[in-house]
Amino acid sequence: MNILFAFASGLIFGIGLIIAGMANPAKVLGFLDLAGTWDPSLAFVMGGGIAIGLIAFTFVKRRSLSLLGLPMQMPSSRHLDRRLIGGSALFGIGWGLAGICPGPGLVLLGAGTTKGLLFVTAMLAGMAIFEVIERRKAHRTSRTAVTGGIR
């Protein structure tokens, strides 16, 4: 049953991205081009999403279980660090260069576009590289802890 709701949510989200024009890289780049012919239409889409999210999070904070009976998993950390800021900057640079972020990238992949295929491939490669780096860090940390910092 949860898979059905996840599928329906993803389908509705994807359709919403298409209707809003957020799966069109040219439209997104027009929104990001403040010095050129700026297209403010996506600002309204984002504003609507923020307003709905604000209302939803207000109600969700009061619940311990979702409507499907699963535990609510809300982020608790409010810590800003170099990794978060660096990752945000990297995301913004990529979004500005390609006009695509992960959600629309998956929509474009599903539509069979070359841009979607290239974007999702690059995204998965980046995720794999991140995972390798994290595993090496964890291995080094555990090895340092075992040896007491002696090499």
d(CA 43, CA 49): 10
In this prediction, residue 129 carries a pLDDT of 93
Dihedral sign from CA coordinates of 64, 1, 12, 114: positive
Side-chain-side CA neighbours of 136 within 13 Å: the count stands at 6
| Total structural domains within the chain | 1
Distances from the Cα of 148 to the Cα of 47, 113, 138, 140, angstroms: 52, 52, 15, 12
Helix (H) or strand (E) holding 72: none
CB atoms within 10 A of CB 116: 20
Distances from the Cα of 130 to the Cα of 27, 67, 83, 88, 123, angstroms: 30, 34, 12, 14, 11
d(CA 60, CA 49): 16
Print the domain residue range for 118.
2-147
pLDDT digit of tens for each residue in the chain (151 aa)? 789 999 999 999 999 999 988 899 999 899 888 888 888 988 898 899 999 999 998 988 888 898 888 898 888 888 899 988 998 999 999 888 899 999 999 999 999 999 999 999 999 999 999 999 999 999 888 877 666 655 5
In this prediction, residue 151 carries a pLDDT of 55
